[in-house]
Amino acid sequence: MEKLRDISSIINGPWTILIDFNSIMTDDEGWISLYLVQWLEEKERISKRLDRVMINQEWAEAKKTNRVDHHGRSGSDHSLIIFKFRNPNHSAIRYFRFLNFWTKQGDYLNLVENIWNTDIQENGQWVLQQKLKVVAKGLSAWSRDTIGDIFASVKQKDEKVGLLE
């Protein structure tokens, strides 16, 4: 931990350290190399196995849109964390996600047929694109209204598991 204090004293400005702390907690495991990384607007997703995030107060104040999600342990001494870097000026594209269990709902086919039969006054590929868009919006609204937000439900249950650990 002394080395972490040393690092924090030489870095000016906001900083964060994301690391597998098991690799540095004991002297016999050795100290892994830490690279000081200036985060630019990365276009690619970066995935690494990490289990701790440390930030300084300046980071917390400057990067209020970033978030850390802690997940439960699963067969390891590591707890999964997801550190989300967010740009407040960039709105995320929300893609439509089809859920297979919808097809087993009694009113599914009638709903899709009614939405599909919406009259669109154009021709060709544009009509197909617009119909698919209308069906996606209709199914999403129907699912929220009749079934509820299953993604929020899963997230709540995941948080409960985390608290129990």
Over residues 29-80, the pLDDT tens digits come to: 434 344 434 444 455 555 556 667 777 888 778 777 677 777 666 666 666 7
The pTM of the full predicted model, rounded to 2 decimals, is 0.45
User: What ranges do the domains of the chain cover?
Assistant: 2-89, 100-153
Identify the burial level of 104 via C-beta atoms within 10 angstroms of its C-beta, where 0-12 means exposed, 13-18 middle and 19 or more buried.
exposed
Measure CA 17 to chain center.
19
Over residues 80-124, the pLDDT tens digits come to: 777 776 666 666 677 888 999 999 999 999 999 999 998 888 878
